[in-house]
Structure 1
Amino acid sequence: MSDPVDSTAFYASVPLQDDFGVLSDTQKYTPLPDDWWVGTSDIVGSTQAVADGRYKTVNMVGAAVISAQINAHGGAAFPYIFGGDGAGFAVPPAWQDRAAKALAAVRVWAAEEFDMGLRVGMTRVSDIRQAGLDVTVARFQAALGVDYAMFTGGGLSWAETQMKKGAQSVPQAPAGTQPDLTGLSCRWNHMPSRHGTILSVVILPSDDAPGPAFSALARDVVEVARGLERAGHPAAPGGPGVKWPPAGATLEAHAQRRGGSLGAARRKALFESFVAWLLIKTGLKIGGFDARDYQRIVGGNADFRKFEDGLKMTLDCDSATQEQLRNLLEKAAQDGIIRYGLHTQSEAMMTCIVPSIMTDDHVHFVDGAAGGYTAAAQAIKGAQ
Structure 2
Amino acid sequence: MTQDGFYQSLSPSRDFAGLTRAGAFTPLPRDWMVGCCDIVNSTDLIASGRYKTVNTIGASVIAAMINALQGVPFPYVFGGDGASFAVGPEHADIARDTLARLRSWASAEFDIDLRAALLPVSWIRAEGLDVAVARYAVSEAADYAMFAGGGLNWAERQMKLGGFEVPPAPLPDPPDLTGLSCRWNTIPARNGLILSVVVQPVPTASAKDFAKIAGDILAMADQLQRNGHPVPEEGPSFSFPPPGLTLEAKISRGKTALILRKAQLFIQTTLAAYALSRKRPLGSFDAQHYRRMLVANADFRKFDDGLKLTLDCPPQVRDDITRILEKAATAGHARYGLHEQDEALVTCIVPSVMRDDHVHFIDGASGGYTQAALRMAASDRTTA
- Greater shift, 267-276 or 140-149, is seen at 267-276
Q: Quote the residue 1:166 is aligned against.
A: 162
Kindly state the Cα deviation for residue 270 of structure 1 after the two structures are TM-superposed: 2.1
Kindly state the Cα deviation for residue 284 of structure 1 after the two structures are TM-superposed: 4.4
Find 1:105's aligned residue among 96, 101, 106. Answer: 101
AA matched with 1:282: R
Query: Which whole-Å CA distance do the structure 1 matches of 2:124 and 2:84 have between them?
Result: 14
Structure 1 residue 181 and structure 2 residue 177: aligned? yes
Q: Does the 8 A contact of 2:116 with 2:167 survive in 1?
A: no
AA matched with 1:81: V
Q: Quote the residue 1:267 is aligned against.
A: 263
Kindly state the Cα deviation for residue 286 of structure 1 after the two structures are TM-superposed: 2.9
Query: Which whole-Å CA distance do the structure 2 matches of 1:26 and 1:91 have between them?
Result: 24
Q: Quote the residue 1:216 is aligned against.
A: 212
Measured against aligned partners, the alpha-carbon deviations of 1:264-306 in whole angstroms (never above 9, x if no partner) come to: 1112222212211111212242331101110111111111111
Alignment of 1:301-320 (within 5 A): 301-320=297-316
Q: Does the 8 A contact of 1:253 with 1:262 survive in 2?
A: yes
Kindly state the Cα deviation for residue 176 of structure 1 after the two structures are TM-superposed: 4.6
AA matched with 1:344: E
Q: Quote the residue 2:377 is aligned against.
A: 381
Q: Quote the residue 1:39 is aligned against.
A: 35
Measured against aligned partners, the alpha-carbon deviations of 1:88-119 in whole angstroms (never above 9, x if no partner) come to: 00000000101111111111111111111111
Alignment of 1:1-384 (within 5 A): 6-383=2-379, 384=383
Structure 2: runs of 5+ lacking an equivalent: none
Q: Percent identity?
A: 50
Q: Does the 8 A contact of 1:239 with 1:300 survive in 2?
A: no
Cα RMSD over matched residues?
Answer: 1.2
SS in 1 for 2:138: strand
Measured against aligned partners, the alpha-carbon deviations of 1:120-161 in whole angstroms (never above 9, x if no partner) come to: 011101111111100000000001100000000001111111
AA matched with 2:139: A
Q: TM-score, normalised by structure 2?
A: 0.97
Query: Which whole-Å CA distance do the structure 1 matches of 2:264 and 2:327 have between them?
Result: 52
Query: Which whole-Å CA distance do the structure 2 matches of 1:104 and 1:283 have between them?
Result: 44
Runs of 4+ in 1 over 6 A off after TM superposition: none
AA matched with 2:199: I
SS in 1 for 2:23: helix
Q: TM-score, normalised by structure 1?
A: 0.97
- Greater shift, 269-278 or 53-62, is seen at 269-278
Structure 1: runs of 5+ lacking an equivalent: none
How many residue pairs match? The answer is 380
Query: Which whole-Å CA distance do the structure 2 matches of 1:181 and 1:213 have between them?
Result: 40
Kindly state the Cα deviation for residue 6 of structure 1 after the two structures are TM-superposed: 4.6
Q: Does the 8 A contact of 1:254 with 1:262 survive in 2?
A: yes
Query: Which whole-Å CA distance do the structure 1 matches of 2:334 and 2:249 have between them?
Result: 41
Measured against aligned partners, the alpha-carbon deviations of 1:314-365 in whole angstroms (never above 9, x if no partner) come to: 0001122111111111111111111111111000000000000000000000
Q: Does the 8 A contact of 1:314 with 1:367 survive in 2?
A: yes
Kindly state the Cα deviation for residue 172 of structure 1 after the two structures are TM-superposed: 2.8
Query: Which whole-Å CA distance do the structure 2 matches of 1:58 and 1:357 have between them?
Result: 24
Q: Does the 8 A contact of 1:314 with 1:368 survive in 2?
A: yes
